[in-house]
């Protein structure tokens, strides 16, 4: 027998468990299992996003390994931020709070498992952590202290079970008021005399005054490392290109993430309406949320010249928004400002921000274009919040989340029946009834159309209303009308990835594949961290255009990102069968039935249909692969 030798590596180990898990199980084991399963999926996804690997996930324990301490800490921050939002949706007694400990140590890797004292220390650190918190060892702290936008609290040296040396532990503070501080360590390690204290204070004041003076007189000089144009993942567009990073939530309430996300979304949407700009879509900028990534690297990865970043802080009935615009290729801040307003003025503030950005980019707008910038507004802030929360949930794109978004849209409409945005969101959820083969296609499409017409009546036409009307038409197989609506959506918002995607979608369903493919490709350029629906529909266009090999490549890309992506497996079952790879076709069909056991060829035939293709041949291929008639 061949001996398999273990590999020894310096790694960051993340250990997590649930505080009070046994009590939760004793009170309601079924609900607890459902919650822990959902939370484990969220945690695993965020670990993978941060280039980590889950090595164990039994019961309420999760163990993961990273090659970078920074990635491990970014993953932990993202996990706790997301789980706080998820817990807000649950009753107080059913909330599930994880404790996370991170250690940097030399460990053994063998058979996808890890061993060694480094693992044990991570588990001991986790046991000393408060529920919902993150604690790290001194080694991790030293690696990340200058690279994350959080602060630390020194918890002292701790003797832990089975470990001979004391472990120095730091807690990561999520609260914004401590940002940039290290609490506890200075008091325990250094002792200054009063005279020295005053000397250091005076020196710090002098340095600060000098820094302000230099910044004032030389504010156009480079203060960040410039992005290298030759390293850009994509060629720079021939017009001002910008990525709007997720605005940081500085409010005490972490559940307010959806509000800061809504501010970001509105600015992106406003800028995308301007034909003289190139604007990266939300999906692609949100991969940098809660991560410390250098501006020049973001610009190089997304292929843009300008970066906008900022923060949002709500307190009582007021809101403070700060923003700064950076020229990444030159390495300096073009503009920075902060705004304090009442909540009922938040819409005007968002429009003002978009206008200031365009002024700095020297974009001049016509009267018609200025009119397009206005948001669909409400005076009822509670209705606005319900809409934002519903839209954030809808973006997760599953059947269950679509139903949750529907309920929130209906709550927003009840709070303000004259607010147009929730009608658009609600219409999207009725289109999902068709996409997920839930039956009642005609009824769902009629409801969606009526909701969009109501939104237009309340707030006028915009790109989103035309996108959804186009969807209604091509789902009814009224292809020419669908293309006209989606073309109008693109005219109103030419730099919107979604508008380009919907236009490509309409062309694809109309059988105009040669035109659909470049439209999808432009949507992908505008949204480099590409949504799976873009990849999926580009694959269908290639498959129907006779390029099954390209379609198979794209669908496999989608499955690598989401192993439960139904539409990709459905396409693969067809494409493999038509290309003669029957074994792969049967495997894909098995996955289709795993995800949606009740799917049949009859249901598919009643669903959306593409013009000008041999549907009998395609459905016969799906059936031969293993999908029931």
Threshold 0.85, pTM exceeds: no
DSSP string, 394-436: HTT--HHHHHHHHHHHHHHHHH-TT-SHHHHHHHHHHHHHHHT
For residue range 48-70, what is the model confidence (pLDDT) as tens digits? 888 888 888 777 788 899 988 99
**Contact by Cβ (8 Å): 523, 507:** no
Mean pLDDT, range 425-453, rounded to an integer: 87
Tell whether the model's pLDDT for residue 483 goes beyond 90: yes
Write the CATH number for 588.
1.25.40.10
CA distances from 594 to 37, 519, 566, 570, 588 (A): 18, 32, 9, 11, 10
Q: What pLDDT is recorded for position 304?
A: 87
Is 179 exposed, middle or buried (CB count within 10 Å of its CB: 0-12, 13-18, 19+)? middle
440 within a domain of the structure (yes/no): no
Please give the Cα distance from 31 to 24 (Å, whole number): 9
Task: Indicate if 208 and 146 belong to the same structural domain.
Answer: no
Q: Report the alpha-carbon distance of residue 421 to residue 452 in Å, rounded.
A: 10
pLDDT of 588 reads 95
What DSSP designation does 335 have? E
The whole-number pLDDT of residue 369 equals 47
Report if residue 448 sits inside a domain: no
Contact 158, 169 (CB under 8 A): yes
Q: How high does pLDDT run on average in the chain?
A: 80
Please say if the pLDDT value at position 410 is more than 80. Answer: yes
Residue 378 covered by a domain? no
Tally of structural domains, the chain: 4
Beta strands in 276-367 (DSSP E): 278-279, 306-315, 318-327, 332-342
Among residues 278, 470, 464, the alpha carbon closest in space to that of 363 is found at 278
Tokens of 579: 């290309």
Question: What's the pLDDT tens digit per position in 346-362?
Answer: 766 776 677 667 666 65
CATH label of the domain that carries residue 78: 3.30.70.1230
Does a structural domain hold residue 513? no
Judge whether residue 413 has pLDDT over 80.
yes
Residues 248 and 138 grouped into a single domain: no
* The last residue of a domain, from among 308, 342, 372: 372
pLDDT per residue over 267-325, tens digit each? 787 777 766 678 888 778 887 887 777 888 888 888 888 888 888 887 777 777 888 88
Domain boundary among 319, 342, 372: 372
Q: Both 196 and 249 in a single domain?
A: no
My answer on whether 101 and 38 are in the same domain is yes
What is the bridge-based pairing of β-strands 306-315 and 241-244? parallel
Q: Are residues 113 and 208 in the same domain?
A: no
pLDDT score recorded for residue 187: 38
Other CB atoms closer than 10 Å to residue 192's CB: what's the count?
A: 11
* Mean pLDDT, residues 471-496 taken together: 89
- Sign of CA pseudo-dihedral 197, 200, 204, 210: positive
Which CATH number does the domain housing residue 335 bear? Answer: 3.40.50.10610
Specify the 3-state DSSP secondary structure of 279.
strand
Q: Are residues 14 and 157 in the same domain?
A: yes
Token pair recorded at residue 421: 């945005």
Give SS3 for 36: helix
* pLDDT above 90 as % of the chain: 24
Q: Which residue did the predictor score with more confidence, 107 or 480? A: 480
pLDDT digits (tens, 9 = 90+) for 154-207: 888 877 655 667 888 899 987 654 455 566 554 333 333 444 445 445 555 554
Domain boundary among 352, 372, 392: 372
Q: Please check whether residues 235 and 357 belong to one and the same domain.
A: yes
Nearest of 77, 48, 43 to residue 60 by alpha carbon: 43
Whether residue 233 is found in the same domain as residue 107: no
Average pLDDT estimate for 465-471: 90
Q: Is the residue at 491 inside a domain?
A: no
Indicate whether 144 belongs to any domain: yes
Q: Give residue 397's pLDDT.
A: 67
Dist CA 109 CA 6 (whole Å): 6
Residues 210, 161 share a domain: no
Q: What pLDDT was estimated at residue 185?
A: 53
Asked whether residue 83 is assigned to any structural domain, the reply reads yes
- What is the share, in percent, of the chain residues with pLDDT greater than 70? 81
Asked whether residue 580 falls in the same domain as residue 592, the answer is yes
| Secondary element (H or E) of residue 592 | helix 582-595
What is the tens place of the pLDDT at every residue in 234-253? 888 877 888 888 888 876 66
pLDDT of amino acid 156:
81
214, 178: one domain: no
Q: Compare 175 and 77 and report the one with higher pLDDT.
A: 77
Question: Domain for residue 327, yes or no?
Answer: yes
**302 and 366 part of one domain:** yes
Angle at 397 between CA 596 and CA 450, to 5 degrees: 100
Q: For 538-564, b where at least 16 C-beta lie within 10 A, e where not — what string?
A: bbbbbbbbebbebbbebbeebbeeeee
Tell me, what DSSP letter sits at residue 287? G
Average pLDDT on 543-557 reads: 93
| Residue 586, pLDDT score | 96
CA distances from residue 274 to 239, 319, 369, 461 in whole angstroms, order as listed = 11, 27, 7, 16
Residues spanned by the domain of 305: 229-372
């Amino acid at each position: 027998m061949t001996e398999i030798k273990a590999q020894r590596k310096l790694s960051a180990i993340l250990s997590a468990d649930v505080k009070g898990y046994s009590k939760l199980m004793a009170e309601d084991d079924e609900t607890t299992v459902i919650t822990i399963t959902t939370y484990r999926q969220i945690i695993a996804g965020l670990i993978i996003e941060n280039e980590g690997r889950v090595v164990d996930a039994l019961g309420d324990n999760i163990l993961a390994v990273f090659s970078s301490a920074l990635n491990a800490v970014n993953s932990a921050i993202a996990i706790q931020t997301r789980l706080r939002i998820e817990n807000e949706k649950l009753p107080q007694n059913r909330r599930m709070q994880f404790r996370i400990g991170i250690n940097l140590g030399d460990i053994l890797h063998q058979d996808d498992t890890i061993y060694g004292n480094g693992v044990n220390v991570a588990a001991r650190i986790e046991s000393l952590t408060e529920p919902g918190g993150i604690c790290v060892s001194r080694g991790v702290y030293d690696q990340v202290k200058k690279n994350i936008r959080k602060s630390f609290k020194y918890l002292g040296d701790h003797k832990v079970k089975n470990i001979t040396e004391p472990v120095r532990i730091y807690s990561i503070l999520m609260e914004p008021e401590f940002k940039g501080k290290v609490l506890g360590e200075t008091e325990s390690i250094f002792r200054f005399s009063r005279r020295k204290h005053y000397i250091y204070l005076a020196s710090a004041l002098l340095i600060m005054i000098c820094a302000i003076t230099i910044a004032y007189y030389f504010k156009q000089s480079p203060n960040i490392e410039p992005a290298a144009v030759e390293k850009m993942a994509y060629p720079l567009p021939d017009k001002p290109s910008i990525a709007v990073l997720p605005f940081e939530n500085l409010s005490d309430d972490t559940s307010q993430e959806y509000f800061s996300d809504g501010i970001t979304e509105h600015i992106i949407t406003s800028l995308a309406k301007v034909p003289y700009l190139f604007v990266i879509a939300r999906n692609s900028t949100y991969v940098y949320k809660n991560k410390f990534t250098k501006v020049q690297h973001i610009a190089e990865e997304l292929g843009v010249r300008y970066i906008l970043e900022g923060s949002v802080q709500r307190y009582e009935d007021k809101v403070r928004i700060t923003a700064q615009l950076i020229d990444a290729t030159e390495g300096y801040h073009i503009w920075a400002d902060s705004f304090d307003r009442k909540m009922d003025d938040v819409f005007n503030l968002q429009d003002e921000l978009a206008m200031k950005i365009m002024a700095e980019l020297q974009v001049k707008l016509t009267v018609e274009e200025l009119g397009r910038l206005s948001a669909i507004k409400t005076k009822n802030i509670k209705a606005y919040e319900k809409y934002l929360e519903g839209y954030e949930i809808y973006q997760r794109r599953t059947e269950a989340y679509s139903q949750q978004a529907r309920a929130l849209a209906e709550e927003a409409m009840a709070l303000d029946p004259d607010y147009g945005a929730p009608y658009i969101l609600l219409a999207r959820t009725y289109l999902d009834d068709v996409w997920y083969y839930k039956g009642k296609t005609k009824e769902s499409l009629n409801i969606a159309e009526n909701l969009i017409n109501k939104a237009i009546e309340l707030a006028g036409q915009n790109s989103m209303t035309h996108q959804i009307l186009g969807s209604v038409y091509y789902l009814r197989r009224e292809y020419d009308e669908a293309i006209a609506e989606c073309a109008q959506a693109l005219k109103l918002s030419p730099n919107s990835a979604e508008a380009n995607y919907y236009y490509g979608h309409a062309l694809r369903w109309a059988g105009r594949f040669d035109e659909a493919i470049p439209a999808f490709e432009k949507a992908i350029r505008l949204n480099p961290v590409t949504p799976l629906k873009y990849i999926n529909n580009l694959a269908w266009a290639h498959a129907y255009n006779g390029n099954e090999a390209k379609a198979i490549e794209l669908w496999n890309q989608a499955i690598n990102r989401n192993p439960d992506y139904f539409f990709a497996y459905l396409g693969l079952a067809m494409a493999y069968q038509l290309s003669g790879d029957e074994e792969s076709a049967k495997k894909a069909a098995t996955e289709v039935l795993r995800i949606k056991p009740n799917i049949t060829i009859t249901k598919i035939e009643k669903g959306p249909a593409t013009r000008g293709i041999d549907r009998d041949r395609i459905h016969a291929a799906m059936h031969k692969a293993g999908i029931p008639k």
